[in-house]
Amino acid sequence: MLHQPGDFLTGMIIMKRRTFLVGAGVAAATGAGIHWLTRGPDYDSVAANLWSHRSSASGAGFADLVHYATLAANSHNAQPWHFQQTHAGVVIAPDFSRSLPVADADNHHLYASLGCAAENLMLAARATGRSSELTFDPAGAGRVQVTTGRAGAARDALFDAIPDRQCTRSDYDGRALGAMDRMLLQRAARVDGCELLLIEDRARVEQVLELILAATTIQVSDPAFVAELRSWLRFNARAAAERGDGLYVACSGNPTLPTWLGSILFGAFFKPAAENERYARQVRSSAGLAVFVSERDDPAHWVEAGRSYQRFALQATALGIRHAHLNQPLEIAPIRRQLGALLGVGDRRVDLMVRYGHAAPMPRSLRRPVSDVIIAA
Ligand SMILES: Cc1cc2nc3c(=O)[nH]c(=O)nc-3n(C[C@H](O)[C@H](O)[C@H](O)COP(=O)(O)O)c2cc1C
């Protein structure tokens, strides 16, 4: 999915050189002067406080477990989840009011996002002396039940990496991974019913890139897709902090703007050619592509694919490896099938795809307060 507003602002900056009218707006928007217009709460301190371990981790209560769960990756940062404490553990229920009907019509990403949250929650439970086990309840409108029991505390590197993980949507430095890193990523991503493919052969990467570009062209040309994405973009720190959700443009390296201006310029400059040029550059700057494939195409397996990806992301973080999603070809069924055929996965569903490599960190995303996502037992 095209989660990054991409180069529409860069396009705008190029336009500045051509058009005085737009240029004037851009100069204001990209210069230092814009920040007084868009400054809200201190974004950096809100983010730093959010992306931290909870000091009570030694005996973490329910709210702390939920804190860790909400730091999981999730599609459009829509955070489509509710958490409920039960006698046996925790139920993670889908919040369909936060689904993405255009980009994620079958709710695949929604369930994968629940899997990401479940994995973080289970790691946190284990780190604080509880065993945990996940079951998926299709009858309960697709609820994920994490059962926790007593066990010795088992804090591992994946848990430690939770506050450092991010999706890094920038150009990478082209460096390859070492064999040991590849092995550790494979091992971390191991989850029943799900396989991880690492693609580093450049000719094969180019073949996959072609499908990424074809899917990007279709999505960027679809007004419904663009409108949905725009509704989740947060064009400045104030909007991002007030909502605590969505895609803050600075996380993708774009300058911040007043919401009204960002929204207009996004519509004008979010175009297939610019998006494709950026995706091609970013894929070619990456060490490889990680593809998550599950045995069966149903919500229970989408949850497992989310868990597998989240574990990969945390292990990558622990190793200093960055990653960013490239799911566009998986969101258009015929292109997803083409990708499956290219990768030789038979009838299995290709669930998620990310690029990985090395790069500096980007600004962090935000989350809604834990109290907003807990529902009464
Ligand atoms: C199931 C799923 C699908 C996603 N698809 C995309 C995508 O296609 N493009 C993208 O840039 N990010 C994608 N993301 C990443 C989210 O946008 C990201 O997790 C969210 O904005 C929060 O940012 P963070 O992970 O850096 O905290 C996806 C994440 C998940 C879990």
Q: Where are the domains of the chain?
A: 1-377
Q: Which residues line ligand 1 (CB under 6 A)?
A: 1, 3-4, 73-77, 109, 112-113, 116, 166-167, 169, 247, 324-325, 327, 352, 365
Say how many Å lie between the CA of residue 69 and the centre of ligand 1. Answer: 15
- Whether 353 contacts 290, CB under 8 Å: yes
**Closest residue (by CA) to atom 1 of ligand 1?**
109
Among 116, 148, 114, 153, smallest CA distance to 133 is for 148
Say how many Å lie between the CA of residue 153 and the centre of ligand 1. Answer: 30
Q: Which residues contact 184 (CB under 8 A, 6 or more apart)?
A: 315, 319
Dihedral, CA of residue 211, residue 214, residue 220 and residue 223, to nearest 10: -110
Other CB atoms within 10 A of residue 288 CB? 22
Q: CATH assignment of 1-377, given 3.40.50.720, 3.40.109.10, 3.40.50.1820, 2.30.42.10?
A: 3.40.109.10
Helix (H) or strand (E) holding 289: strand 288-294
- Whether 250 contacts 363, CB under 8 Å: yes
Say how many Å lie between the CA of residue 16 and the centre of ligand 1. Answer: 31
Q: What is the pTM of this model?
A: 0.91
Atom of ligand 1 nearest to the CA of 313: 25
Question: What is the structure's pLDDT at 325?
Answer: 98
Helix (H) or strand (E) holding 185: helix 179-188
**Closest residue (by CA) to atom 15 of ligand 1?**
75
- Whether 199 contacts 289, CB under 8 Å: yes
Q: Which residues contact 23 (CB under 8 A, 6 or more apart)?
A: 15, 16, 17
| Integer Cα distance of 126 and 146 in angstroms | 12
Tens-digit pLDDT string for the chain (377 aa): 565 555 444 443 333 322 222 222 333 334 333 443 444 558 999 999 999 999 654 557 899 999 999 999 999 999 999 999 999 899 999 999 999 999 999 999 999 999 999 999 999 999 988 888 999 998 888 888 888 887 777 789 999 999 999 999 999 999 999 999 999 999 999 999 999 999 999 999 999 999 999 999 999 999 999 999 999 999 999 999 999 999 999 999 988 999 999 999 999 999 999 999 999 999 999 999 999 999 999 999 999 999 999 999 999 999 999 999 999 999 999 999 999 999 999 999 999 999 999 999 999 999 999 999 999 87
**Closest residue (by CA) to atom 20 of ligand 1?**
77
